[in-house]
Chain A
Amino acid sequence: MMGLDTDNLLADGAGHVLEAMFFTSVEPEPAGDLPAPTIQVKVAFHGELTGHLEVHLDDAFARVLAGNFTGNFDPSEMSETDVAQVMRELANMLCGATLSRLSPGTIFDLDAPQVSAADTMPEDGQWVHTGDGSLHLRLHREIRGTEL
């Protein structure tokens, strides 16, 4: 489980990514009940820091973000493949933004993000809310094979 500082870094990095690249502002509270995530995106990182970042969100918010990112606001024209591609970009940038805050100047490599179905409500980690939906972030770091 990560500490409060890491959760703050996750939230700060996510806010920067969502505002700059997805044109949506971070809010202190969710717009409604927290949605059960249906999508998980996992991106592994290696180097002086090793571990992975998980992003969880529901399909409706993923489609809003994909529309904001590409400029295609017609959900009927956005295939699951299109949405998944944007989710990979989102996870890639969230991971880069988090690691650059966690350990500035550290060199790391990111694997290609993997998109899969999510069916459980995440427990530890950090929620980030916007007016269009919420997403959940969880960072796992490993040091000498030990997950922190």
Chain B
Amino acid sequence: MAYRVLIVDDSAAMRSFIRRVMDLSGVETSAVHEAGDGLEALGVLERDWVDVILTDINMPGMNGEEFVRRLSMSGVTDSVPVIVVSTDATQVRKEHLAKLGARGYLVKPFTPEMLRDEIERVLSGVVL
């Protein structure tokens, strides 16, 4: 199955990397949308439906926490899983984002296989 993906990161280099590792790991995509912060991502979601969202936390403008909070309040996270991608590996941060509505969490650095496994896990509804 080919997925529609939204990548939210203020770094164009990181967005390119995520696209690259999705290809390398065999994640099939029918559309990949990009946004530089949470506000821009909300604009994308008004126009296009996606199957999964990958978001950074630290971004200028609307950061990842506020973005996930807004998605959760509007009910989007009930049908579209959000995976947070961050260098912060602390359990406190992971639990905080999960409470806000994120269903996945990927710590940088990660391998292409780790990204694929996390996407497949959240899309299959498996809860850790």
Interface residues of A, Cβ cutoff 8 Å to B: 16-17, 20-21, 66, 69-72, 82, 85-86, 88-89, 92-93, 95-97, 100, 105-107, 110
CB of B90 within 8 A of CB of A20, answer no
Complex CA gap A70/B89 in Å reads 23
Q: Does B111 contact A (CB under 8 A)?
A: yes
Interface residues of B, Cβ cutoff 8 Å to A: 11-14, 16-17, 19-20, 58, 87-93, 108-111
Prevailing SS type, chain A contact patch: helix
Given contacts A71-B20, A96-B108, A97-B109, contact A86 B90 (CB under 8 A): no
CB of A86 within 8 A of CB of B20, answer no
Complex CA gap A106/B91 in Å reads 9
CB of A105 within 8 A of CB of B90, answer yes
CB of B11 within 8 A of CB of A20, answer no
Given contacts A16-B109, A20-B110, A21-B109, contact A86 B93 (CB under 8 A): no
Complex CA gap A89/B12 in Å reads 10
* Residues in chain A near residue B109, CB distance under 8 A: 16-17, 20-21, 93, 97
* Residues in chain B near residue A20, CB distance under 8 A: 109-111
Which of chain A's residues has its CB closest to B12's CB?
Answer: A85
Which of chain B's residues has its CB closest to A16's CB?
Answer: B109
* Residues in chain A near residue B110, CB distance under 8 A: 20-21
